[in-house]
A = this chain, B = another copy of it.
Amino acid sequence: MAEPGFTGAGLDRADHLRLDEQELAVLRLHAEARLLSLAELDPVLDDSGALAWSALAGEDEGTIFLGLEDGAPRFAPLIRTTALGQRAWGVFRLLASMSPKDAAIWAAARSLNEWHNRHVYCGVCGTETRSFRAGWGRLCPKCGMEHFPRVDPVVIMLAEHGDRVLVARGPGYPPRRYSALSGFVEPAESIEEAVARELMEEAGIAVSDVRYVASQPWPFPGSLMIACLARAGSDTLTLDTNELEDAIWVDRAGVEAALAAEPDAPFQAPPPFAIANTLLTRWIEADIEGGRR
């Protein structure tokens, strides 16, 4: 079964060390300590196509402690940038060539850096904060408020109707690209309620029987993608044209053709590291396992 992208970093995050300044100082001097190379917030690959790392200058405290890889400490730089929230189609080409493990490690560095840059000042009192917990928090020196990295849960889902599922394209998508519908989970709603609300808002369809399928982190800038299936009561669409350019119902043969990147497929599937791809794949696989074909 295909694992979702940006998972499988394989690092021990060693949360218990994050507040241990003494131990962190030792780790920074560790012979195998390494600092992730970044170009702004984008990945840098070495000649073999793997993430590039450099030796760590022991004294540098402006870093994020990513964790331990077989006992060897891994850090990422803390970078001040104004290039926030970029959709990063360019990075998608790099990601297509990266190992899942490397993509997952880079995702932590990117998400945390985005978060630091969006939370320079304390939301409670307006004072400039500083990184603490080895980059996994920011502390206000004035009011004492501790701020923790933000992760935005997003539902991403396929509505099913008979033998078909609904895929859609938004403004700015690559040509012929369609994907699963998605939207942020709001305060005071469950995953199941968010799935139903988004499908009603964006496509005008009522759904029932929401089923969780898989999840992945998505570092643009820091989402938790929660992939689901839902049963549509009707296939009549009323599109929110501010959000969607088009939406189509696709049958199994069409989804299989898209996943196989066949030239006459009804649409171009999202890349393998996007959970929409995993979701389409699992929908096909579950059907095969379920013996419906």
A216 within 8 A of B: yes
State the CA gap A9–B192 with chains docked (Å): 13
A151 within 8 A of B: yes
Contact A188 B108 (CB under 8 A): yes
Q: From known contacts A7-B190, A188-B108, A219-B188, infer whether A117 and B124 are also in contact, taking CB-CB under 8 Å.
A: yes
Contact B217 A190 (CB under 8 A): yes
Partner of A151, one of B13, B123, B152: B152
Q: From known contacts A188-B219, A190-B4, A224-B185, infer whether A197 and B13 are also in contact, taking CB-CB under 8 Å.
A: yes
A187 within 8 A of B: yes
A107 within 8 A of B: yes
A20 within 8 A of B: no
A27 within 8 A of B: no
State the CA gap A84–B16 with chains docked (Å): 26
Residue-by-residue, is A116-135 near B (CB-CB < 8 Å gives 1, otherwise 0)?
A: 01111111111110000000
A115 within 8 A of B: yes
State the CA gap A217–B104 with chains docked (Å): 27
CB-CB contacts below 8 Å: A157-205 with B: 184-193, 197, 201
A272 within 8 A of B: no
A283 within 8 A of B: no
A112 within 8 A of B: yes
Other 16 A-B pairs with CB < 8 A, given A9-B188, A126-B127, A151-B187:
A7-B193, A111-B187, A111-B188, A117-B124, A118-B124, A118-B145, A120-B123, A121-B124, A123-B123, A150-B150, A151-B152, A151-B184, A190-B214, A190-B217, A190-B224, A191-B224
Which residues of B have CB within 8 Å of A15? 201
State the CA gap A193–B153 with chains docked (Å): 15
